[in-house]
Amino acid sequence: MITAPTGLDLKRENIPRELKGLDQWVGWRWKQFGQKRTKVPYDLKTGKAAASDDPTTWAPYSKTEGHLNIGFMFGDRDAFSGIDVDGCVDPQTGKITKLARQIIDRMGSYSEISPSTTGLKIFVKGVVPGLRRKNPKKQIEVYDRGRFFACTGHHLPGTPKTIEPRQEELNALYLWLFPGEEEPSPAPNGSLNRTAPNHDLSDEDIFSRAYRAANGEKFLRLWNGDASDYESHSEADLALCAMLGFWSGPDPERIERMFSASRLSRRSKWRERPRYRRDTVAKALDRMTEFYDQATGATLVVSKNGDPSGNGVVLPNIPPPLPEDPPFPTDALPEVARRFVEEGAEAIGCAPDLLALPALAVLSAGIGASRVVEIKRSWREGATLFLAVVASPGEKKTPAANAARRPVLKRQAEKRQEFKTKREEHGRQMREWKAHCRDARSAGETEPPPPPEPTMERTYADDTTVESLVGILEDNPRGVLIYKDELTGWVRSHDQYRAAGKGADRQHWLSVWSNQAIVVDRKSRQGDPTYVERPWVSLVGGIQPAMLSELGGSMEDGLLDRFLFCYPKHSQTDLSEVEIGADTEAQYATLYDKLTSLLMVKDESGQEAPNVVPMSGEARSLFKKIHDQIGR
């Protein structure tokens, strides 16, 4: 264990969860260099020196246990930048200089006291917009890679506890720190020098941009040697060369070198035939009219041979990287649910989104059809949610979903026990009824009606064929939760039992989402269709990124648009010894139980109907603001 020489005890609970989820942690020690003492990082796994350009010397946050001097290493693939303001805090009084306070207020993001107690570290989301990093006169440094920040967890009061996106503010700070630096000017369309690649981008930069782009899944499949999307291996080789060429610029040597690091290159044709390699790269570049421009971050469109009227073959547009995904807004959840999500994410070792989305579904199912919000007299909305967790295998979607839906499954188990008791009582009543029937027949009297058969109250269902679902909803007007481990299977099941695949399953699901009446002819009730006036279902499940297109398929019927998606960044941590607190789990379950106790009312026809909840003035104002923003 390393002893902290600064007197500042490490406050782990304040370190932002987003940083804890990355494998970019190091330890640090003081080292004397002449008259100067500086912090030197070391590998938490080996104790040897750590390097800013070698991620193998970094570690998951879990490895910081037992170490008091820890630091976060800024890397090429994370979204974070750090601002180091030195000599701005009076260690005796804690007073912060006016300049530092202005920077803190402008950034409005997580800030903490440095180990020296005389400086501050500010963490933001953004990219440092130039090459310079230090302004010695103002004692301020900015970094987004190639550097670590020693973390203390001594959160600066009055600043957020989360790391906020602040690209515009970071740009302004950079121009203030380095006013003499010339900004790169973009080249006009059509004037890109086809021999001027993006030299400043490393191979790792190019790979990172490619796999995070909108077509990143396709890139990764090719990189991993999967050519199944193409008619031939040669077409697959050509496609990967084109993707690499888009990001690297027209640099044949780099494209060939990077391609040779992929699994697609393991074919003998690539390894043993230099001419094939050169021709494939040349052919890919000859077709291309668009390249990524590092200077502007935009796509430059150029014509073949520089001729605006050239009619060379143009590859489909390869879009720039997607913006960094925002953190799931756990603060918007009820306090009990927020605590459950945060503790669960740490215990399971997954992104908070993977717990938050199914937890939302559980809470919405607790409300069910008992309430609708009245926006206008003619416009009411229920609590129905269709939710999809987008994550690759191994991201722990299923353990997270199991933890979130446990209260629903527990309640369903209780209802099943109640049903068993009712069924036994029904058996007794049936025996008595039969005896009464015999007595009535002997006496020449009319036989009494049989006792009604009991039904099991449902809070949960996993059979999602429309015919079976309407039967459940007919007996359970409050509605049910449906969980599908793989939503792909749910989509593929639509109309699979219909002749030539023609049916109305998708249309029925559209009606279920909007709580519109559905009518289904069931084989077991010929001539007596099932009518559900207000169908209510909350649906949640997981889906792999590569399978997303199956939700929409070739149909533009709006089913895809009814889903709320979360697509969290990959999170990999060592198995934690932490458990979700028993009190937290119990309070989360109690919240669900309270919601299930909300009563429905009887409508004019005597059917169960939801209570109508009017919007408060504040709620209506917020709704209008969001509604109008989306509309614009």
Coil, strand, or helix at residue 327? coil
Q: What is the pLDDT of residues 575-591, one digit of tens each?
A: 778 889 899 999 999 99
pLDDT band with cut points at 50, 70 and 90 for residue 619: very high
DSSP letter for 43, please: -
Q: Report the distance separating Cα 84 and Cα 115, nearest Å.
A: 12
Give yes or no for residue 194 having a pLDDT over 60. Answer: no
Taking Cα atoms as reference points, which of 60, 181, 74, 178 lies closest to residue 127? 74
pLDDT band with cut points at 50, 70 and 90 for residue 571: low
Give yes or no for residue 197 having a pLDDT over 70. Answer: no
DSSP letter for 265, please: G
Give yes or no for residue 615 having a pLDDT over 90. Answer: yes
3-state secondary structure labels for all residues of 284-304: HHHHCCEEEECCCCEEEECCH
Give yes or no for residue 556 having a pLDDT over 70. Answer: no
pLDDT band with cut points at 50, 70 and 90 for residue 295: low
User: Which comes out higher in pLDDT, residue 324 or 622?
Assistant: 622
Give the mean pLDDT of 144-154. 92
Q: Which region among 76-80, 505-509, 555-559 has the lowest average model confidence (pLDDT)?
A: 555-559
Residue 200 pLDDT? 64
Q: Report the distance separating Cα 471 and Cα 464, nearest Å.
A: 11
Q: What is the pLDDT of residues 352-384, one digit of tens each?
A: 999 999 999 999 999 999 999 999 888 999 999
